[in-house]
């Protein structure tokens, strides 16, 4: 096999509570994460040596500053592969938008590169390797819906809902995840009691629509970013319910009842100048169906 193409989906945080700061500088969290069908495309081709990254659709670094590059370097070294890889990223997920695009791309590279070189790495082994790249990377190597604890790397798979409609919107400004968590650290003692994860049966899932949706980081990000708050209000006033920021922002998502409502609401958000997309939740991770 000389080439493999991997779909690289976005995620939304349907629930995100920050439990506390860890000695290693990360934060313990409780989150419910869901894959959606807004996808980047990651195309990998064999090279005799070295790693080369090309990016279309966003301004991102091509070297070690790109998480996809670091994912390739990590797997090639860990597996003892002498060959290299050319990585082409076609970006559709907003960058630094709380939708996990960079982590998803890194996971796609781990899966695609293992296919490209016929490596006998299990899903669990790739997830363990992915922990070295970022807290969200192991989630993108799992299934479509999971409870994430620890710093995000401890995953409990949940039974998938049938596809549900959401609208994703982004006002076009990046948010630094590191900044958002630094802001959160200064307020941890104020957040008492913590919001509890919604209850669900063992091996089950919380109810839909997610009236239980919650994101602790809204309280530190929205006061500094009125553009996100305005976009959230627009989606709420147009009928989205609930409407919530995903991750550290700047993207927000609105739950809607059907495809017609989703496309109408996305069109309305676009008229305000925002990026917007009507999407559905995924019942399984499409990365594992990567094609050669």
Active site residues: 11, 136
The bridge status of strand 154-157 relative to strand 145-149 is antiparallel
Rounded to whole angstroms, the Cα distance separating 149 from 284 reads 20
**CA pair distance 240, 261, nearest whole angstrom:** 9
CB-count burial class (<10 Å; 0-12, 13-18, 19+) for 244: buried
| Runs of H (alpha helix) within the chain | 67-79, 101-116, 123-130, 137-140, 177-185, 218-221, 226-237, 259-271
Do residues 236 and 254 touch, judged by C-beta distance below 8 A? yes
HEC states along 240-292? CCCEEECCCCCCEEEECCCHHHHHHHHHHHHHCCCEEEEEEECCCCHHHHCEC
Distance CA 41, CA 53 (A): 13
Distance of alpha carbon 171 from alpha carbon 232, whole angstroms: 10
């Amino acid at each position: 096999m000389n080439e493999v193409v991997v779909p690289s989906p976005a995620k939304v945080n349907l629930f995100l509570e920050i439990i506390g700061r860890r000695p290693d500088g990360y934060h313990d969290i409780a989150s419910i994460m869901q894959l959606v069908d807004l996808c980047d495309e990651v195309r990998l081709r064999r090279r005799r040596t070295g790693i080369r990254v090309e990016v279309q659709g966003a301004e991102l670094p091509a070297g070690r500053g790109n998480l996809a590059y670091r994912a390739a370097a990590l797997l090639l070294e860990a597996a003892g592969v002498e060959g290299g890889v050319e990585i082409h990223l076609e970006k559709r997920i907003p960058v630094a938008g709380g939708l996990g695009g960079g982590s998803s791309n890194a996971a796609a590279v781990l899966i695609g590169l293992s296919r490209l070189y016929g490596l006998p790495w299990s899903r669990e082994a790739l997830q363990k390797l992915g922990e070295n790249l970022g807290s969200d990377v192991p989630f993108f190597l799992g299934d479509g819906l999971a409870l994430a604890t620890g710093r995000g790397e401890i995953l409990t798979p949940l039974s998938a809902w049938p596809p549900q409609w959401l609208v994703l919107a982004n006002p076009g400004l990046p948010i630094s995840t590191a900044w958002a968590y630094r802001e959160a650290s200064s307020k941890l003692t104020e957040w008492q009691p913590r919001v509890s994860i919604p209850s669900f049966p063992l091996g089950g899932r919380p109810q839909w629509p997610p009236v239980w949706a919650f994101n602790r980081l809204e309280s530190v990000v929205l006061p500094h970013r009125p553009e996100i708050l305005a976009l959230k209000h627009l989606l709420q006033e147009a009928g989205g319910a609930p409407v919530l920021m995903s991750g550290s922002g700047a993207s927000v998502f609105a739950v809607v009842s059907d495809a017609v409502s989703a496309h109408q609401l996305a069109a309305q958000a676009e008229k305000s100048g925002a990026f917007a997309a009507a999407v559905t939740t995924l019942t399984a991770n499409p990365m594992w169906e990567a094609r050669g």
